[in-house]
A and B are shown apart, each in its own frame.
Chain A
Amino acid sequence: MRAISAIGSITIKEGIRDKVFLNLLLFGLLMLGLSLLIGDLSMGQEEKFVKDLGLAAISIIGNLTAILLSVGSLHREFDRRTLYSVLYRPIPRWGFLIGKYVGVCATTLLNVMAMSLIFLILISIRGYPIGIGMLKAVYMICLEVGLIAAIGMLLLQVLPFAPSVIFTAALYVAGQMIDVLREMVASERGISRGIIWAVYHLLPNFGALNVRSQAAYGLPIDPIYLVRATAYVLLYIALLMTLSSFRFERGDLG
């Protein structure tokens, strides 16, 4: 456990020093500022505009950070061969992987929290109410980035760096379109229906984690729904990390 937390804290330090992390954070803050300016074009619904754009900026930057840090930090270990000096110590491989994941998640959540805090300050300066829905939407973004980081780590086990980044992003986009697949399951027949059904159930349902629109409109978000979404994401992460650890234990690190 101590080894996992040590690897986690090293990963956090590396992540914070990473130029990609800082650039994305700066870009995110720029987007938040821009949302206030674009809000003026809304012709009456400035509050909805600002909240929509701000939450989307936090989600986009948070997910990009999670993809690049999860794939990048593990890839660096392989590339610089620093992995061997760590695994030389009495640390199980799965422990190293979990430590890395915890570190990446903590760094990404730090990014999301920093952007959310600044965003909430900006909207309260603007005089818009900060409902509990906004906090719930930020919480769901945190779940999203946790899931994305686990996907990135698994894909790097089987693919090179660039395809891992691209496929993780593609899975995120596909997971947002899960409603379309559900409709296709209902309309298709035969083998194609079976294939779509399997894809529909295997893909992570990122669409279900998107409550940004409800938050922007101030619509209620059921706390039970949040609990179910949390359970879903935690179980999915557990599955992905188990597969990752299995592959990492058996894989050739050369």
Chain B
Amino acid sequence: MRPGKYRFILIPLILFLVWSILILEDGLSRESGRAAVERLKYIPSGQTLRLITAGYHTLAADLLWAWSVVSFGEHLNGDREFGWLSKALEGVTALDPRFRDAYLYGGIMLAMEAEDPEGAVKLLERGVKNIPSDWQLHFFLGFYRLLYRIDPIEGIASLKRAAMLPGHPPYLPLLVARSYTKLGMIRLAVSYLEQVRDMISDPELKLRIEAQIAELLRRQGVVPG
């Protein structure tokens, strides 16, 4: 078959084949994408995952995390079905217990978008157990507990732990005191602020804390001395 002679057949044929392949490929990738998300629902437990990934736990954690992030984006713009997310994040953190971002961003995904604050709290509880020196993990754990009323007292305790760790922002002790006040525990708020005031050396922050203590005491009807 000489191409010159049959060009009028060859070119439409090639175009038809390319078009058909593209149509089929599009359908297949959509189907396989759906199947991949379906598979996320059946992720084995953390212990099994560690067993089957034989020595390449952190690599498997990275890939599972990347897969979860992509699937999260697809569901966020689609059916908003996030039943698989908590299991996937459990898998990621079981494979790599020091994967800080999986706790941090995973907590945000679970609490804010998947409407599963209990799942976010459980995830961050594992996070602070595995990375106890990270103030942000303690902070978010306390924040979700307070915001969603999942043991607020323990939530304040988490914020207090965050305020003791290096790198925390200066407003954190004041936030702890405010949280106590919101729960009606003004005495605890004052005593906590007094402890913080005695510990810090920053004069500007000391003044802000003094003002806060005075305000709280005034509310209780005590004249500051």
A119 CB–B CB distance under 8 Å: no
Known: A213-B96, A213-B98, A217-B98. A42 touches B62 (CB 8 A): yes
B57 CB–A CB distance under 8 Å: yes
Q: Which residues of A contact B96 (CB under 8 A)?
A: 213
B62 touches A213 (CB 8 A): no
B66 touches A42 (CB 8 A): yes
CA distance A206 to B100 in the complex (A): 26
A43 touches B58 (CB 8 A): no
Interface string of A35-68 (1 = CB under 8 A from B): 0001001111100110011001001100000000
Closest chain B residue to A50, Cβ basis: B62
Q: Which residues of A contact B101 (CB under 8 A)?
A: 42-45
Known: A177-B51, A180-B51, A213-B96. A56 touches B59 (CB 8 A): yes
Known: A45-B99, A45-B100. A176 touches B62 (CB 8 A): no
Q: Which residues of B contact A41 (CB under 8 A)?
A: 65-66, 69-70
Contacts of A78-99 to chain B: CB distance below 8 A: none
A142 CB–B CB distance under 8 Å: no
CA distance A52 to B64 in the complex (A): 13
B223 CB–A CB distance under 8 Å: no
How many chain B residues touch A (CB < 8 A): the figure is 21
**A contact patch SS:** helix
Q: Which residues of A contact B54 (CB under 8 A)?
A: 173, 176-177
B19 CB–A CB distance under 8 Å: no
Contacts of B161-186 to chain A: CB distance below 8 A: none
Closest chain A residue to B104, Cβ basis: A44
Across the interface, A52 reaches (CB within 8 A) one of B55, B62, B104, namely: B62
Contacts of A187-228 to chain B: CB distance below 8 A: 206-207, 210, 212-213, 216-217
How many chain A residues touch B (CB < 8 A): the figure is 24
CA distance A72 to B142 in the complex (A): 58
Across the interface, A213 reaches (CB within 8 A) one of B57, B63, B66, namely: B57
Q: Which residues of B contact A48 (CB under 8 A)?
A: 62, 99
B55 touches A207 (CB 8 A): yes
A43 touches B59 (CB 8 A): no
CA distance A83 to B114 in the complex (A): 65
Nearest chain A CB to B22 CB, angstrom units: 24
Interface string of B87-125 (1 = CB under 8 A from A): 000000000101111001100000000000000000000
CA distance A3 to B180 in the complex (A): 81
B51 touches A43 (CB 8 A): no
B148 CB–A CB distance under 8 Å: no
B58 touches A212 (CB 8 A): yes
B56 CB–A CB distance under 8 Å: yes
Q: Which residues on A are within 8 Å of B, measured CB to CB?
A: 38, 41-45, 48-49, 52-53, 56, 59-60, 173, 176-177, 180, 206-207, 210, 212-213, 216-217
Instruction: Provide 14 A-B residue pairs closer than 8 Å at the C-beta atoms, listed in order of the A residue.
Output: A41-B69, A43-B101, A43-B105, A44-B104, A45-B99, A56-B58, A59-B56, A60-B56, A177-B55, A180-B51, A210-B55, A213-B58, A216-B58, A217-B98
Which 10 pairs from chain A and chain B are nearest by CB? A176-B55, A56-B59, A41-B66, A176-B54, A173-B54, A213-B58, A45-B101, A52-B58, A44-B101, A52-B62
Additional 9 contacts, C-beta under 8 A, given A53-B62, A173-B54: A38-B62, A41-B70, A42-B62, A42-B101, A45-B100, A45-B101, A52-B58, A212-B58, A213-B58
